[in-house]
C-alpha cells in the first residue's frame, strides 16, 4: 500500500505542538525530492494488533512531517506492506519495497520476520530499522540492522530483578511460544540465566503453538503441574489472553507475568477477568505528562480513535530517526553512517542512542492490568 504523503491529515493544536519536535529534522534544505521509506509489519493474523499499532505510529509520523509548511523540507512517500506473520510473505514484501527503491525499511516488528527480511536486505546493504524486535541474536553484529528496542538480555534482567526484589517470586514456570520461536527461545534462555543467577529457580518449561487444537488448555495443565509460584508467559497478546483464561479455570490466584511482546490493549480486551493483575514490562511511560508525549497522544487518539501501544510509539520514533538521517546524509555517506553520526536522537520520552552495532537500550516501566487499562506496578 502506498500511503499518500498527507493521507487526509489536517494539522490541529496537537499537530502544531509537534513542530518543535520535528524542527531539528529539517537541516537539509537543499533536498527537494520525496524520501521513500518502506514499512513491513503484520497486519493480518493473530498478531495483527501489534502490526496495526506500529503502522499507525509510522503513518502519523509521516503525516506530521509532511504537514510542515517549509517548502525546503523533504516529504515522505511511505510504502506499507503486510508480512502476514509469514517468512515467505515478509521476503516478498521486502522485494516489493526494493522494487519501489525505498531507502530504508522500518520494521518488521517480530524477530522471525526480521530474520526473513535480512536474507534479502543484507546482500543489498539496505538498512532495516526495527522498532520492536529484540532477540539477542541480533546484538553486537556489524550489519545493516538497527534496533529501537532493548535486547532480550536487557529486558529479562529487568524482569528478573522486578520479580525477585519487588514480588519475591522464587519459582517460575515458563510458557514458550513456537510461532515467533527465535524471540521466545532467546527470551526464555536469557530470563532463566538472569533469574537463576540472582537466586530464583525455573520449575519447568512448556513449548506450545497456539494454532494447534486445545494448545492453551493443555499447556495450562502442564505448567501448573510444576507447582510454580508464578507463570511467565512468552507469547503474543492473543495467546496470552487465551492461556490465562485456561489457567484461571484451574488456579484462579497464581500470579501471571507476560513478556513485553504481549503488552497491548488487545490483551486486556480478549483476556477480560482472566488477565486482571497480570504484570508486564513496557518500554514507554504510559502516564508521561511531558509536552511532546501529550501532543503525540492527542494527535494519535484524534487520528485513530484509540490510544497508542509500545509499537505505535517505537514505530513513530523509528520513522523520525530514519527521516532525520536520510535528510541529513553528508555527501556519499550511506544511511548507516548517517544514523550513527547523528546519534543520539530525542524520542518522545527518552534519548535514543545507537552503539556501533545499531543496538540501543530503553527505560523499563512495569505495569499491571487493572480493569480496562494498565496502571503502574507498585
Task: Indicate whether 164 and 90 sit together in one domain.
Answer: no
Q: For residue 374, is it within any domain?
A: no
Task: Indicate whether 224 and 309 sit together in one domain.
Answer: no
Task: Indicate whether 142 and 235 sit together in one domain.
Answer: no
pLDDT at residue 104, rounded to an integer: 98
Classified as helix, coil or strand, 98 is helix
Task: Indicate whether 257 and 300 sit together in one domain.
Answer: no
Q: For residue 342, is it within any domain?
A: yes
Q: For residue 375, is it within any domain?
A: no
Rounded CA-CA distance 40/51 in Å is 9
**Secondary element (H or E) of residue 231:** strand 230-234
Classified as helix, coil or strand, 279 is strand
pLDDT at residue 135, rounded to an integer: 87
Task: Indicate whether 212 and 275 sit together in one domain.
Answer: yes
Q: For residue 94, is it within any domain?
A: yes
Helical packing angle, 215-224 and 237-250, nearest 10°: 60
Neighbouring CB atoms inside 10 A of 340's CB total: 16
Place of cell 494448545: 215
pLDDT at residue 22, rounded to an integer: 52
DSSP 20-85: HHHGGG---TT--SPEEEEEEE--SSTTHHHHHHHHHHHHHHHHHHHT---TTSPPEEEEEEE-TT
Task: Indicate whether 6 and 24 sit together in one domain.
Answer: yes
Helices within 100-151 (DSSP H only): 111-121
pTM greater than 0.85 (yes/no): yes
Helices within the chain (DSSP H only): 13-22, 48-66, 87-99, 111-121, 152-161, 181-197, 215-224, 237-250, 265-271, 291-304, 310-327, 335-342
Q: What is the DSSP letter of 275?
A: G
**Residue 195 belongs to domain spanning:** 152-282
- Nearest Cα to 254, choosing from 283, 278, 230, 227? 230
In DSSP terms, which residues pair with 208 in a beta bridge?
A: 177
Task: Indicate whether 138 and 269 sit together in one domain.
Answer: no
CA atoms within 13 A on the CB side of 306: 15
Q: For residue 359, is it within any domain?
A: no
- Nearest Cα to 161, choosing from 197, 137, 202, 203? 197
pLDDT at residue 45, rounded to an integer: 78
Contact, 284 vs 292, CB < 8 A? no
Task: Indicate whether 247 and 294 sit together in one domain.
Answer: no
pLDDT at residue 6, rounded to an integer: 31
Residue by residue, pLDDT tens for the chain (378 residues) are 444 333 333 334 444 445 445 544 444 445 468 999 999 999 997 779 899 999 999 999 999 999 988 888 899 999 999 999 999 999 999 999 999 999 999 999 999 999 999 999 999 999 999 999 988 899 999 999 999 999 999 999 999 999 999 999 999 999 999 988 989 999 999 999 999 999 999 999 999 998 888 999 999 999 999 999 999 999 999 999 999 999 999 999 999 999 999 999 999 999 999 999 999 999 999 999 999 999 999 999 999 999 999 999 999 999 999 999 998 888 889 999 999 999 999 999 999 999 999 999 999 999 999 999 999 998
Rounded CA-CA distance 50/71 in Å is 34
Rounded CA-CA distance 274/289 in Å is 30
Task: Indicate whether 50 and 181 sit together in one domain.
Answer: no
Q: What is the number of domains present in the chain?
A: 2
Q: For residue 373, is it within any domain?
A: no
Task: Indicate whether 319 and 232 sit together in one domain.
Answer: no
Task: Indicate whether 142 and 21 sit together in one domain.
Answer: yes
Q: For residue 361, is it within any domain?
A: no
pLDDT at residue 72, rounded to an integer: 82
| CA 278-280-285 angle, 5° bins | 125
Q: For residue 137, is it within any domain?
A: yes
Contact, 100 vs 81, CB < 8 A? no
Contact, 284 vs 310, CB < 8 A? yes
Task: Indicate whether 224 and 181 sit together in one domain.
Answer: yes
pLDDT at residue 70, rounded to an integer: 85
Q: Which bin fits 115, alpha (ψ -120 to 50), beta or left (φ > 0)?
A: alpha
For the domain that residue 339 is a member of, what is the CATH number?
A: 3.40.50.2300
Amino acid at each position: 500500500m502506498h500511503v499518500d504523503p498527507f493521507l487526509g491529515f489536517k494539522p490541529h493544536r496537537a499537530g502544531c505542538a509537534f513542530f518543535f519536535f520535528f524542527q531539528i529534522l529539517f537541516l537539509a534544505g537543499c533536498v527537494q525530492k520525496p524520501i521513500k521509506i518502506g514499512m513491513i509489519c503484520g497486519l493480518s493474523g493473530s498478531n495483527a494488533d501489534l502490526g496495526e499499532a506500529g503502522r499507525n505510529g509510522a503513518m502519523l509520523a509521516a503525516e506530521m512531517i509532511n504537514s510542515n509548511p517549509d517548502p525546503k523540507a523533504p516529504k515522505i512517500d511511505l510504502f506499507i506492506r503486510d508480512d502476514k506473520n509469514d517468512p515467505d510473505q515478509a521476503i516478498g514484501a521486502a522485494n516489493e519495497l526494493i522494487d519501489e527503491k525505498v531507502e530504508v525499511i522500518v520494521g518488521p516488528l517480530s524477530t522471525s520476520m526480521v530474520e526473513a527480511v535480512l536474507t534479502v536486505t543484507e546482500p543489498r546493504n539496505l538498512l532495516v530499522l526495527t522498532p520492536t524486535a529484540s532477540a539477542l541474536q541480533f546484538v553486537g553484529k556489524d550489519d545493516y540492522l538497527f534496533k529501537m528496542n532493548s535486547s532480550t538480555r536487557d529486558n529479562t534482567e529487568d524482569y528478573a530483578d522486578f520479580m525477585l526484589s519487588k514480588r519475591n517470586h522464587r519459582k517460575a514456570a515458563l510458557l514458550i511460544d513456537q510461532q515467533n520461536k527465535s524471540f521466545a527461545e532467546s527470551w526464555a534462555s536469557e530470563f532463566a540465566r538472569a533469574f537463576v543467577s540472582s537466586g530464583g529457580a525455573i520449575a519447568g518449561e512448556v513449548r506450545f503453538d497456539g494454532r494447534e487444537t486445545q494448545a492453551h488448555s493443555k499447556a495450562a495443565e502442564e505448567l501448573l503441574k510444576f507447582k510454580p509460584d508464578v507463570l511467565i508467559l512468552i507469547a503474543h497478546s492473543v495467546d496470552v489472553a487465551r492461556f490465562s483464561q485456561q489457567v484461571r479455570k484451574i488456579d484462579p490466584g497464581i500470579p501471571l507475568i507476560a513478556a513485553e511482546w504481549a503488552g497491548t490493549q488487545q490483551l486486556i480486551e480478549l483476556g477480560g477477568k482472566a488477565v486482571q493483575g497480570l504484570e508486564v514490562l513496557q518500554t514507554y511511560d504510559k502516564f508521561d505528562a511531558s509536552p511532546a508525549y501529550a501532543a503525540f497522544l492527542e494527535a494519535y487518539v484524534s487520528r485513530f480513535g484509540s490510544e497508542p501501544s509500545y509499537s505505535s510509539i517505537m514505530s513513530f520514533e523509528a520513522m523520525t530517526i530514519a527521516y532525520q538521517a536520510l535528510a541529513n546524509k553528508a555527501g556519499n555517506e550511506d544511511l548507516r553512517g548517517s544514523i550513527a553520526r547523528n546519534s543520539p536522537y530525542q524520542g518522545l520520552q527518552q534519548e535514543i542512542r545507537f552503539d556501533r552495532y545499531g543496538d540501543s537500550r530503553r527505560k523499563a516501566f512495569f505495569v499491571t492490568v487493572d480493569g480496562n487499562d494498565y496502571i503502574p506496578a507498585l
